[in-house]
Chain A
């Protein structure tokens, strides 16, 4: 299905580099997008796909390198400049205004292009919005409905309808169908093919390899901020794509011997038929001293598992710790039964950033550190000092505000906080997100040590190397369900990725 006729290049990205503090997000990227092609961009989480799309959208500026549009060197300084070049981006996280109607959202770019001192052509807006919706087979939606009342899938379709209306020359679809049903996705693909026939360059960013192989003319694989290769979609297999995405020396992937045979240890957590929004009859167990890895794509349901287990999201099914059943939707009870939870969103949900190291360490077990409501400062200091030493957190003093610590040290303090309650089970969601390589290794070391003390650990992570390196067993989630487990030598990135993307 590759389009073989000579194509005109619309955008060429040459040697583009983007640095964030402490991270090299894009490293000398080279890729070109041509008129009349569907160009898929794939890669693991953190490969740099979204950063690249944000640069095309004019939201981010590269530190180095050059972008050519229609062969001429260009600077995409703002979103407006991007659109003036005919580039339209459908964002993964929706860019819609919930208080405005569908029609008003779809027509917003048109309104921005008109003079401020004009009247709003309500009837025309409604008519054009209805036409845009009809193209996507969404005739049943009333253009006057407020976008805030729509489901995620409907909002995603509205965003796509808005993008298609703008007659882009280069259309970026960043995970456009993460919330869409099969039927809605089919409609979207049909339109993508139509746009290709009309000579539009479509960049299609997706985790779903089957879709990519079905739709794309060319596929560019990104890894660790680099473009690894661009291939023509001609007899390419999923395995080949996965190998290109993973691309590491697989022999050294499991550097530590999983010494213990935790099958002999008692079961700590049993999950029976756990069902919640995004999770469908999940069953698994974790034993004392074991690190269980849970992987999967962003929309697989794995990102809800931690919240559901801890009781932040209502659930049905049975969750027991040491044989005692946990009440649903009660985080405080979960703590009492021996669970500790470290959520992914460290700055939002995990840490008290404006408070001191010592206060953070004891915040989950204040009762143990107070008498008649008065805090026992000396005892708090002692405990905090012990945890800081145990976790080797680098701080200047115990009164230091958490916000002034590096991400790695913050995460260590949060780990310390969960250990103060002497948990039987530690649930970690993205335990090393945004943490530099050195601190990552230290945190892995600490986690193994905690497991060695008999704590059961669940590590929910998008970073496959992390799962391969640390987990004794790995369960992969897809569409809210768990695959059969990977164990021992079967735990490798290709196997995880293949299960995560299986169709």
Chain B
């Protein structure tokens, strides 16, 4: 027997139960940042800490949040999806056009969702069997889908109302989905976001599928030698992302209730990715949580809301959101290096 050389430092195994261990969790940091932000806005503005404003924030973040939930799956699996903004536009507009054409609500919604899932399926297949990096595959799909939306609508705005041909009964329910309030106070969009986030949390942290998403993104080799099919896990993550982007797009059209292929959801993919990453998901895969993503979405939403309430110049708002992203990811990288 030879003496052997130890190259790795012995890591303390029990520190996750200690206070420093708890403080090191990504969510805690984001959560503290959110608390500080909220405290600051409570004292700096008159209108922040009111139920009306908070529910308003809740509605404003919902669509972003629904998409960020999907993006969490995609990022953890080690991929990225840049086509979600275009998907949001195409799927929403397609649903709206079908309603205008006199379709019933359920068939129109189904077509919209299937459109989104198909886009996700194409993204997934290109990124796995097609061997394209998802950054490239979905960058291409971003234009393909946006172009399809322009062709479909001929560049004209789509406005869902009775005058354009929608059935009044269908329109009433469609509007309620986007503009209504549960019990008269909770915006329906927020209700959907909460339901989807809760469901996603269960899937990601409690089911075998969620486990596989982490395994595939954490180490493709480890997953493969364990017998996990990397391609199918990634494709399902993209399909889920596609469905959620489509649903958010449909809600958006129901809320406004009009959209235009050249403008709807333009650049939205970057907000979605930013919120997810601020929430702790890693671009290199294997890391991320639904709770973190919700906090990331909240930080960006509260920040926007607060800057508006304080009357900050919208151009400066944009700049500050950018700084938040850089600082949040900077903290992540810094702490990763310390752990390594």
Contact = CB atoms under 8 A, between A and B. Distances in A.
B11 interface: yes
Nearest to B7: A152
B331 to A, nearest CB: 18
Interface stretch (A114-122, A351-359, A458-466): A114-122
B227 A151 contact: no
A501 to B, nearest CB: 8
The residue among A109, A120, A480 with the most chain B CB atoms within 10 A of its own CB is A120
A217 B31 CA distance: 59
Interface in B131-169: none
Contacts of B5: 179, 277-278, 299, 301, 479-480
B13 A151 contact: no
Contacts of A59: 225
B206 A109 contact: no
Nearest to A142: B13
Interface in A107-147: 108-109, 111-120, 140-142, 144-145
Given A57-B225, A104-B211, A151 B6 contact: yes
A150 B6 contact: no
B50 interface: no
Interface residues of A, number: 59
Contacts of A79: 224-225, 227
Contacts of B218: 97-100
A179 B16 CA distance: 26
Contact of A141 (B8, B13, B205): B13
Contacts of B16: 142, 144-145
A302 B150 CA distance: 63
Nearest to B340: A148
Contact of A99 (B2, B209, B286): B286
Given A99-B287, A117-B209, A105 B7 contact: no
Nearest to A478: B2
Interface stretch (A180-188, A378-386, A394-402, A440-448): A180-188
A115 B222 contact: no
B221 interface: yes
A119 B1 contact: no
Interface string A176-197: 0111111001100000000000
B9 A151 contact: yes
Contact of B339 (A105, A145, A148): A148
A interface, over-half SS: loop
Contacts of A118: 207-208
B9 A115 contact: no
Contacts of B9: 151
B219 A96 contact: yes
B226 interface: yes
Contacts of A185: 1, 4
Given A118-B207, A142-B13, A97 B223 contact: yes
A478 B7 CA distance: 15
A154 to B, nearest CB: 7
A177 B5 CA distance: 11
Given A120-B206, A141-B13, A112 B227 contact: yes
A181 B4 contact: yes
Interface in B86-123: none
Nearest to A210: B1
A374 B214 CA distance: 49
B207 A112 contact: no
A151 B1 contact: no
Contacts of B2: 208, 478-479, 503
B208 A182 contact: no
Contact of B210 (A57, A120, A186): A120
A45 B138 CA distance: 43
A104 B218 CA distance: 12
Contacts of B210: 120
B282 to A, nearest CB: 8
Contacts of A503: 1-2
Given A111-B211, A115-B208, A153 B8 contact: yes
Interface of B: 1-11, 13-14, 16, 205-212, 214-215, 217-219, 221-228, 286-287, 339
11 contacts: A97-B219, A99-B217, A108-B226, A111-B211, A112-B212, A116-B212, A118-B208, A119-B206, A142-B13, A153-B4, A277-B5
Top 8 A-B pairs ranked by shortest CB distance?
A: A151-B8, A99-B286, A97-B218, A99-B218, A97-B219, A112-B227, A149-B11, A108-B226
